[in-house]
Structure 1
Amino acid sequence: MTRLATRLAAPAPGWTTHADAVVVGSGIAGLTAALELRTRVRRVLLVTKGVLVSGSTVWAQGGVAAALDPSDSPAAHLHDTLVAGGGLCDPRAVETLVTEGPARVRELVGRGAVFDTGPDGGIALTREGGHLADRIAHAGGDATGAEISRALVAQIEAVRDDPGIEVVEHALVLDVLTGAPDADGRPGPVRGVTLHVIGEGQRDGVGAVLAPVVVLATGGIGQVYRSSTNPAQATGDGIAAALRAGARLGDMEFVQFHPTVLWLGSGVKGQLTLVSEAVRGEGALLLDTDGVRFMPDVHPLAELAPRDVVAHAIVRQMTSTGADHVWLDARHLGADFLRRRFPTIHERLREHGIDLTTDLVPVAPAQHYHSGGVVTDLDGRTSVPGLYAVGEVACTGVHGANRLASNSLLEGLVFAHRAARDVVARLDGGFLVPGDPVERPGPATLVAAAARARIQRVATDGPGVLRSAEGLTAAAARLAAVPTDAHRRHDDGRTLAAPQVAEWETTNVHQVASVLTDAALAREESRGGHARTDFPATDDAWRVRLEAVLDPDGALAVTRSPVTGLR
């Protein structure tokens, strides 16, 4: 049985401040939540691990999916999302997304986001994999995330001197603080967070922010794997902190591997260059290393099949040809069009000596998006009172087993807005009140930063693109063997590691990898972003959500639950 600690090893807080709500993360979900809360509660603290213009949103090359065209409809968007989700989407969550989405996108325009327009002056809409209509709004061709981030950050900067909001940059949130446990020994309601301000922040060292509300918007888990399109700060901090605080996690096994990530050799690590699905949406083709186009034999939508289908097909084609990549061929689309439509991708590829207009581009799947996370209801509430989760860190039920292209930015917008509204109502109603935190029992945990490469290798080989009981069982054993008491374990009189940023991040990576592996081992079928070579078929008996939670002693329990989760 997997056992994980319920708190990080860290120095006692050296300073304390108070807020009505703490928002953790500065992507589209975190910035939206903070802006919505700013004028509705007395004091909001926005915490970001880097600077405001950081996180995954700024890297989003794709767009925002919404039924903005009169010929499209929320019902059609709902249909495409449910199909991509492999039977595990919560229909009510998807209906919320697609019906409220268009208004949220228009509000984003009102906040200053500038989308590409067509001849009539309206927002130009394109198509991406899994969509049966043109409903993807882009900005700057392939720089949608950067434009959205720019607009929202500008809104925050305009009110940075407002006494009702404080921005703390370069700050890593360590743990969610909780109140007195319930009768079963599970952690009580939210009481705030501990955080470590890194170097250039406004406060030094570890501190505590006492608040009855914490909104997690910390993004994904990319650095759990050796290869990812996620930024370096995507170390699963929010998911791990929520788990330690007693929250339920769901759909952890569903990891989306983007099919077309620039392949530069097996030794490359960290954030890799993504070649957007929109390139295939415009007509680019996938060829194996013999020059054979293989996707038409795999799926009726060929290169525009859902991402999991394309990623699995690429891996199998690589295996059959003995290659470590395939080719993306966009040359027939024309140089002028490619430079105009994909300026960012074109430039990034040129930095590596590849010309999108004249060269075949070597690509292979890499971790891109996590469909699972902290289980929430339709208002972003988790199973811990006062703890909310929005954006990629959350499991709303929208994505099911596989995210439909460009639904992620929309999810951040829609559910951050709903969470902020619910926070205000529950604070005003007296349902969420300040209180004193209580230290959770059991030993604290710390994994040495030196173990991160080992953990990433285990995650890549175990719960990677293609999985099996043998590989997952071995991965679970290897993860269990990683020392989690580096701050207490001694070697020649020295501790293996002291509590600091790299160690805290690595501890989060280890905990997320452990839960992900256990969930992947438990699901004995293939569905969406979870592909088992020993259980290749989809089984209706597994049309359930797997949820993971720690008991008061730190034992991890993985159980089946209806896909409607908390609702």
Structure 2
Amino acid sequence: MASWDADVLIIGSGIAGLMAAHLLADKKNVILITKSNVNRSNSSWAQGGIAAALGTDDDWRKHFADTLLAGLSHHVDEHVEILVKRAPSLIREMEKIGVPFDKSKDGTLSLGMEGAHSRRRIVHANGDQTGKAFTETLIHVLKDRVTFLEETTAIQLLKQEDKVVGVLTDKGVFQAPKTILATGGAGQLYERTSNVPEATGDGFALAYRAGATLADMEFVQFHPTILYREGYAHGLISEAVRGEGAVLVDEEGTPIMANQPLKDLAPRDIVSREIHRKYCEGKRVFLDCRSIPNFSKRFPGISRICEKASIDLKQLLLPVAPGAHFVSGGVWTNQRGQTTVDNLYAIGEVACTGVHGANRLASNSLLEGLVFAEAVAKDILHSKPTIDYMKFDKKVANHIKEHMLPSKKELQEKMTLLVGIERNAQTLKEMKQWLLPYIPIVKLSPSEKVSKEKVEVQNMLLVAWLMTCAALTRTESRGGHFRSDYPVLDDKKWLKTYIKSSLEQDSFIEVHSRADIKKEKRYESVIN
């Protein structure tokens, strides 16, 4: 009998995928597939840091409370508790494998402040290049321990007896008893984004077509401060800059967040809307960094971004605008990272673990990648294959014709205008109507003969459809989902929006009460 190509397939090379590979590599044969090169991911671009209750005036309960406050209590509380309790130990473990954390003069970890945190608890590495430090360290320790397949596009998850057994790529078929999705987010659906060009929502589309349940796709977090000059987004300006004292001002120099209780460190959705409204009034917004001493030394990566954008660092007035940053929803998983499809796991931004609620707390994303990569690795190491290896015929749809799809630019313009920072029933219905002709095509898996860009466009259209349908279903404003026709949060409504994967149905949305999914053993019965 033939053997599997690997024990575990990992699709994606961000912090979650790399951490899972690291924890599995000594006992499992791991193949890691990435669409670009292994060094480029949203994780590698992450400037901020990782949140952990390490200070003498801090503990996990405070981190827990801040997480629920930022996400408006739309969480799986048990998963949040796992996240925040595990954080300090994971920081120490990552330090042992070589992550060069920034430290104070006394040798202790330097703790920064970011929006919606009640304590200084953000650890950084190399100033504002934490994500790069983490991914480079993990790639170094993975050398010669796993197989990297770079410049390889995943096209379709392959199933046998309702279990995922591999993936079809543009380089051929790869089969394994376990597959982990770690593909990141979908920021490229919008005109302005902090995400890498590869963040086209591929993992959401792969999972959906394989029959997995997705949840909370309406909660798209927009980062308030993308460096925005002459109509072009040049890169992210980390929230840590505001944590060190920078202030958002309009063209007249008036602070725009002065009336907010947390001022410039309010949750991201609030700050983004304030900036968005200024732009709607025809005014520009700047991040005034002049109060920060040694800015270039404290934020070397951001300084390089500014220099490339021809920004005068002597003045330190940075033109900013909100941009798509993070999808708080995704492929629904339990605390072990298992999806609703056997042998398929999801971790990182592509997953919805319930730890971010309606709006992710700053610097919880890299942490989530580490914590749930660890959970998935433990589950795989303690499980046995549930299916015998069997060769099968790959069945791939070949119904797509390139001229039938719009361009990325056209889709990005529509999503930004109609399903952006503020949306309402009229704009969402308009977007749904525009997408409707493409849905019979994009529900099908792309052809392996179609170009990488067309695969991405097809995935982006499907994810746009799921986001739009979810946003129409939630008739309230909560966190990253702001309905201008429902401007006030109704605390009595605890709705969890699920996107079911019945590809033959016209309606993809079912809504269950929040109480039904409060306990893990209960929500598993609801969504299967």
Is the TM value for this pair above 0.5? yes
Q: Which residue of 1 aligns with 2:16?
A: 29
Q: Does 18-27 or 548-557 show the bigger shift? A: 548-557
Q: What amino acid sits opposite 2:247 in the alignment?
A: L
Q: Which residue of 1 aligns with 2:237?
A: 275
- SS of residue in 2 equivalent to 1:107: helix
- SS of residue in 2 equivalent to 1:364: strand
- SS of residue in 1 equivalent to 2:295: helix
Among candidates 417, 425, 428, match of residue 382 of structure 2: 425
C-alpha distance in 2, partners of 1:26/1:316? 36
Q: What amino acid sits opposite 2:410 in the alignment?
A: R
Q: Which residue of 2 aligns with 1:351?
A: 308
Among candidates 496, 506, 521, match of residue 545 of structure 1: 496
CA contact (8 A) 1:386 1:432 kept: no
Q: What amino acid sits opposite 1:304 in the alignment?
A: L
1:330 aligns with 2:318: no
CA distance 1:436–1:87, change in 2 (3 Å): farther
Deviations along 1:252-308, whole A, 9 cap, x unmatched? 000010101111233x36xx41111111000111111232112121x2100000000
Q: Which residue of 2 aligns with 1:191?
A: 165
Q: What amino acid sits opposite 1:408 in the alignment?
A: S
C-alpha distance in 2, partners of 1:497/1:458? 27
CA contact (8 A) 2:219 2:358 kept: yes
Q: Which residue of 2 aligns with 1:404?
A: 361
C-alpha distance in 1, partners of 2:24/2:187? 28
Deviations along 1:432-472, whole A, 9 cap, x unmatched? 65445576798755665652222111211121011011000
1:115 aligns with 2:101: yes
CA contact (8 A) 2:347 2:373 kept: yes
CA contact (8 A) 1:447 1:506 kept: no
Corresponding pairs, count: 512
CA distance 1:433–1:412, change in 2 (3 Å): farther
C-alpha distance in 1, partners of 2:193/2:5? 36
Return the offset for 1:319.
2.4
- SS of residue in 2 equivalent to 1:97: helix
Q: Which residue of 2 aligns with 1:50?
A: 36
Name the TM-score, length of structure 2 as normaliser. Answer: 0.92
Q: What amino acid sits opposite 1:117 in the alignment?
A: K
Among candidates 371, 378, 400, match of residue 335 of structure 2: 378
C-alpha distance in 1, partners of 2:79/2:473? 25
Q: Which residue of 2 aligns with 1:201?
A: none
Q: Which residue of 1 aligns with 2:317?
A: 360
Q: Which residue of 2 aligns with 1:226?
A: 191
**RMSD (Å) for aligned C-alpha atoms:** 2.2
Deviations along 1:399-444, whole A, 9 cap, x unmatched? 01000000000000000010011012122xx546544557679875
1:252 aligns with 2:217: yes
C-alpha distance in 2, partners of 1:345/1:470? 38
C-alpha distance in 2, partners of 1:52/1:441? 27
Q: Which residue of 1 aligns with 2:153?
A: 172
Question: After superposition, where does 1:54-93 map in structure 2 within 5 Å?
Answer: 54-93=40-79
Among candidates 63, 87, 95, match of residue 101 of structure 1: 87
Q: What amino acid sits opposite 1:290 in the alignment?
A: E
Q: What amino acid sits opposite 2:82 in the alignment?
A: T
Q: Which residue of 2 aligns with 1:318?
A: 279
Gap runs ≥5 in structure 1: 1-15, 181-187, 198-206, 489-495
CA contact (8 A) 1:446 1:507 kept: no
C-alpha distance in 2, partners of 1:94/1:517? 27
Name the TM-score, length of structure 1 as normaliser. Answer: 0.86
Return the offset for 1:544.
2.1
Deviations along 1:225-264, whole A, 9 cap, x unmatched? 1111100011111110000000000110000101011112
C-alpha distance in 2, partners of 1:392/1:263? 24
Deviations along 1:95-140, whole A, 9 cap, x unmatched? 0000111111211111111100012212111110010011100011
Return the offset for 1:38.
1.1
Return the offset for 1:356.
3.6
CA distance 1:138–1:25, change in 2 (3 Å): same
Return the offset for 1:480.
1.3
Gap runs ≥5 in structure 2: none
C-alpha distance in 2, partners of 1:444/1:246? 20
- SS of residue in 2 equivalent to 1:481: helix
Among candidates 263, 288, 291, match of residue 250 of structure 2: 288
1:467 aligns with 2:423: yes
Return the offset for 1:483.
7.7
C-alpha distance in 1, partners of 2:440/2:310? 42
Q: What amino acid sits opposite 1:232 in the alignment?
A: P
Q: Does 75-84 or 47-56 show the bigger shift? A: 47-56
Q: What amino acid sits opposite 1:68 in the alignment?
A: L
* Identity among equivalent pairs (%): 40
C-alpha distance in 1, partners of 2:56/2:46? 26
1:235 aligns with 2:200: yes
Return the offset for 1:542.
3.4
Q: What amino acid sits opposite 1:35 in the alignment?
A: H
Q: What amino acid sits opposite 1:530 in the alignment?
A: H
C-alpha distance in 2, partners of 1:497/1:421? 34
C-alpha distance in 1, partners of 2:91/2:412? 36
Q: What amino acid sits opposite 2:369 in the alignment?
A: G
Q: What amino acid sits opposite 2:302 in the alignment?
A: I
C-alpha distance in 2, partners of 1:438/1:524? 44
C-alpha distance in 1, partners of 2:55/2:147? 38
